[in-house]
A and B are shown apart, each in its own frame.
Chain A
Amino acid sequence: DIQMTQSPSSLSASVGDRVTITCRASQNIASYLNWYQQKPGKAPKLLIYGASSLQSGVPSRFSGSGSGTDFTLTISSLQPEDSATFYCQQSYSTPFTFGGGTKVEIK
Chain B
Amino acid sequence: QVQLQESGPGLVKPSETLSLTCTVSGGSISGYYWSWIRQPPGNGLEWIGYIYDSGTTIYNPSLKSRVTMSVDTSMNQVSLKLSSVTAADTAVYYCARRIYGSGSYYNDFWGQGTLVTVSS
Q: Do these two chains really belong together in a complex?
A: yes
Which residues on A are within 8 Å of B, measured CB to CB? 30-34, 36, 42-46, 49-53, 55, 87, 89, 91, 94-101
Q: Are A50 and B101 in contact (CB under 8 A)?
A: yes
Q: Contacts of B60 on A, CB cut-off 8 Å?
A: 94-95
Q: Are B45 and A87 in contact (CB under 8 A)?
A: yes
Instruction: Give per-residue flags for B84-120: 1 if the beta carbon is below 8 A from chain A beta carbons, else 0.
Output: 0000000000101000011111111011110000000
Among all A-B residue pairs, the 6 with the closest Cβ atoms: A50-B102, A50-B104, A49-B106, A91-B105, A43-B110, A53-B102
Q: Are B104 and A33 in contact (CB under 8 A)?
A: yes
Q: A32-B103, A46-B108, A51-B104 are in contact. List 17 more A-B contacts (CB 8 A).
A: A31-B103, A32-B104, A36-B45, A43-B96, A44-B45, A45-B110, A46-B106, A46-B107, A51-B103, A52-B102, A87-B45, A89-B45, A89-B47, A91-B105, A95-B62, A96-B105, A100-B44
In the docked arrangement, what's the CA distance between A31 and B105, Å? Answer: 10
Main secondary structure of the interface of B (DSSP, over half): strand
B58 at the interface (CB under 8 A from A): yes
CB<8 Å pairs between A and B, sample of 13:
A42-B112, A45-B110, A46-B106, A46-B107, A46-B108, A49-B102, A50-B104, A53-B104, A89-B47, A94-B47, A94-B60, A97-B47, A98-B45
Q: Contacts of B96 on A, CB cut-off 8 Å?
A: 43
User: Which of these, A30, A43, A52, contacts B113 with CB under 8 Å?
Assistant: A43
In the docked arrangement, what's the CA distance between A100 and B107, Å? Answer: 18
Instruction: Give per-residue flags for B60-75: 1 if the beta carbon is below 8 A from chain A beta carbons, else 0.
Output: 1110000000000000
Q: Are A55 and B113 in contact (CB under 8 A)?
A: no
Q: Beyond A43-B112, A43-B113, is A91–B106 a contact (Cβ under 8 Å)? A: yes
In the docked arrangement, what's the CA distance between A4 and B81, Å? Answer: 27
Q: Are A95 and B61 in contact (CB under 8 A)?
A: yes
Q: Contacts of A44 on B, CB cut-off 8 Å?
A: 45, 94, 107, 110
